[in-house]
Amino acid sequence: MELYMERYYAWLNSPNVDPETKAELEALQNNTDEIAFRFSSYMEFGTGGLRSKMGAGTGMMNNYTVAQATEGLARMIDSLGADAKARGVVIGYDSRHHSDDFAKRSAEVLTAHGIRVYLFDALRPTPCLSFGVRHFGAIAGINVTASHNPSEYNGYKLYWEDGAQPTAQMADKVSELILSADILNDVPAAEKADWSLVTMVGNDFDEIYLDSLLKEQVYPGLAAKAADQLKIVYTPLFGAGAKLVPEIMKRIGAKHIYPVEEQMAPNGAFPGLAKPNPEYPASFALGIELAEKVKSDLIIATDPDADRVGVMARDRDGQFKCINGNQMGSLLLDYIFNALEEQGTMPADAYCVKTIVTSEMATAICKAHGVELYNVLTGFKFIAEVIREHEEAGHGTYLLGYEESYGYLKGGHARDKDSVVASMLICEMAAYYTLKGMTLIDALNALYEKYGYYSENAAEIYMEGLDGKAAIAGMMDALRTKMPEEIGGSAVVNFRDYVAETSLDVRTGKTEPTGLPKSNVLYYAMENGCVVVARPSGTEPKIKFYILACGKDSGEAASNTAACTASLEVLLGLEKGSLKK
């Protein structure tokens, strides 16, 4: 009998599996492919934790896989001793189906081990979890969320004592302990929980969190000065930002905040949204309707766990345009630097952090203002590492960290992207430009005029099912083993393989270390200044391609983006147009 069938029947016959789950499994008896998909493997526990579709099975998100993951974490904390158990674990969750159930099940397993738990009394933004770990001095944190994935997904993100996701080494240890626990027989039952060890976290915590964010204002009082002119439409996309994002805007002085009422209440089905993701213009449809009605120039949207934020702003022709993550990061950098310099408060040792797949406009802006810029691998945990290293060394003033996928962090209160503090800064920045008679689109165009034209395309190909991983691996291997001589009509001058941790200067043949951790990422730099990066997603069944182009004007930048995209399609044997986002 195939291993996946053995696992399937073990669940079906176990006295520890509930009747509802057994009924779901019984309905699959004649669907061998689906059984194989659900039971062929366990979800991989990476540095970001777990993420998959919800349903019965070892490779799915359900109470059993969540409990097994938490059992692994509990065993890790047990090994660290009584102090670690007393410090406890903070648990948060978002608006997805079963998120609150998975959070409760995690608390049951931990307290059965005598580990203290801080459990949020309702859904909260992901940055609250990161902040909470630091605030309570906890040993770890669990956040139940699948971020901006479609509604059938959920996930389990682990945080360590500094409020960041764990290092690869730490995650590997937890993963080993997870797999050492039999999913059906080694996990404490619900009745073993000790709820006297649980502290519910509520509104008092929110006040502490918001107070910490208010300290991150760049130009205090500016939003209040523009309050009569500035109108902001906001949507949480049925997620966790509904309460705290509008509240922080009000507290810095914004008066005209218009919520998209149809999307304010938590709803894990995300009605009307194929993907509840502020990266997609379709997510703003209701926001645009409201903005037209109230005559607003600015729409802000946060994703379901409120760590990412997206923006649309009106241009000179009265049309709403998306400001993508690269553009918003550049706008925030420029605004923060200018505002601090105007007030005479720019730190001499300022630094910022971005990822290697983020626009190189940041490099030009930081250079112009004398700010050191660090480049790291994709994932906010790497930005968190740079912050931690500077804190431990006792030098450097951190101003902003961000990645192209709409995640930003200002301040040391958290170690993950924070849409609440980012929304506050975007509101403040919009006020800054409103007082100058400009929209954010005007400000962006001014950046291009000053620093040159940049254009990006972040495309992705989904490959679900049993063969998906193999297909993605094959695509990466093909690119790795036969390096293209040119992309988009320009010669490749530098090739970096972050698995091999090598950077090759194609012109000289010289190889050097990348200086970054090992990761399945391929990086190509062209003679014309354009960059192409290929990277499999760590949380979804897809491969992502980043085209970071530039040019002497907007036309050339856009043309280079299109040429690089077309070259990739040819190299990968894809149909024309496959890599348009």
What residues pair up with 50 in beta bridges, in sequence order?
156
| 50 backbone dihedrals φ, ψ, rounded to 5° | -120, 150
CATH code assigned to 41-201: 3.40.120.10
The secondary structure of residue 61, as a DSSP letter, is B
How confident is residue 47, by pLDDT bands cut at 50, 70 and 90?
A: confident
**Cβ atoms of 236 and 108 closer than 8 Å:** no
- pLDDT for 574 equals 85
How confident is residue 184, by pLDDT bands cut at 50, 70 and 90?
A: very high
355-389, pLDDT tens digit by residue? Answer: 999 999 999 999 999 999 999 999 899 999 999 99
- pLDDT for 243 equals 98
Token pair recorded at residue 160: 């360590």
How far, in Å, CA of 238 to CA of 220, rounded? 30
Q: Strands 89-93 and 117-120: what pairing?
A: parallel
Given a cut of 70, whether residue 202 has pLDDT beyond it is yes
For 94-241, where are the E strands, in sequence order?
Answer: 117-120, 140-144, 153-160, 198-201, 231-235
- Catalytic-residue membership of 519: no
223-251, pLDDT tens digit by residue? Answer: 999 999 999 999 999 999 999 999 999 99
Q: What is the mean pLDDT of the segment spanning 85-108?
A: 98
* Comparison of pLDDT for 1 and 375, the residue scoring more: 375
Listed residue (21, 156, 151, 157) closest to 95, CA to CA: 151
Vertex 136: Cα angle to 133 and 142 (nearest 5): 30
Whole-number mean pLDDT of the chain? 95
* Radius of gyration for the chain, computed over Cα atoms and rounded to the nearest angstrom: 24
Residue among 147, 283, 359, 455 flagged as catalytic: 147
Burial class of residue 449 (count of CB atoms within 10 Å of its CB; 0-12, 13-18, 19+) = exposed
126-136 and 203-214 helices, crossing angle to 10° = 90
How confident is residue 571, by pLDDT bands cut at 50, 70 and 90?
A: confident
- pLDDT for 539 equals 66
Cα 142 to chain centroid, rounded:
15
Given a cut of 70, whether residue 73 has pLDDT beyond it is yes
In residues, how long is the chain?
Answer: 581
Q: Do domains 41-201 and 453-571 have the same CATH topology?
A: no
- pLDDT for 443 equals 97
User: Tokens 């009998």 belong to which residue?
Assistant: 1
Sign of CA dihedral 281, 286, 287, 288: positive
Fold type of domain 210-451:
Alpha-D-Glucose-1,6-Bisphosphate; Chain A, domain 3 (3.40.120)
- pLDDT for 542 equals 85
**Cβ atoms of 410 and 424 closer than 8 Å:** no
Q: Which CATH superfamily is domain 453-571 in?
A: Alpha-D-phosphohexomutase, C-terminal domain (3.30.310.50)
**555 to 246, 331, 379, 490, 568: CA distances (angstroms):** 38, 21, 31, 17, 20
Listed residue (534, 526, 529) closest to 492, CA to CA: 526
Vertex 98: Cα angle to 94 and 101 (nearest 5): 95
383-439, pLDDT tens digit by residue? Answer: 999 999 999 999 999 999 999 999 999 999 999 999 999 999 999 999 999 999 999
pTM: 0.94
How far, in Å, CA of 492 to CA of 189, rounded? 57
Q: Strands 531-536 and 542-551: what pairing?
A: antiparallel
For 109-152, where are the E strands, in sequence order?
Answer: 117-120, 140-144
Q: What is the mean pLDDT of the segment spanning 488-508?
A: 95
| 437 backbone dihedrals φ, ψ, rounded to 5° | 75, 25
The secondary structure of residue 166, as a DSSP letter, is P
How far, in Å, CA of 291 to CA of 104, rounded? 39
Burial class of residue 574 (count of CB atoms within 10 Å of its CB; 0-12, 13-18, 19+) = middle
Q: What is the mean pLDDT of the segment spanning 445-463?
A: 91
How far, in Å, CA of 325 to CA of 309, rounded? 9
Helix (H) or strand (E) holding 177: helix 168-180
Given a cut of 60, whether residue 21 has pLDDT beyond it is yes
Given a cut of 90, whether residue 468 has pLDDT beyond it is no
Token pair recorded at residue 136: 């309570």
Given a cut of 90, whether residue 469 has pLDDT beyond it is no
How far, in Å, CA of 536 to CA of 363, rounded? 25
Domain boundaries, the chain: 41-201, 210-451, 453-571
- pLDDT for 242 equals 98
SS3 440: helix
For 255-371, where are the E strands, in sequence order?
Answer: 256-259, 298-302, 309-314, 320-323, 350-355
Q: What is the mean pLDDT of the segment spanning 286-292?
A: 98
29-41, pLDDT tens digit by residue? Answer: 999 999 999 999 9
SS3 354: strand
Give the other-Cβ count within 10 Å of 325's Cβ. Answer: 26
Given a cut of 70, whether residue 298 has pLDDT beyond it is yes
Q: How far apart are the first and last CA of the chain?
A: 42
Given a cut of 70, whether residue 581 has pLDDT beyond it is no
Q: What is the mean pLDDT of the segment spanning 216-227?
A: 96
- pLDDT for 420 equals 98
Listed residue (397, 429, 402) closest to 418, CA to CA: 402
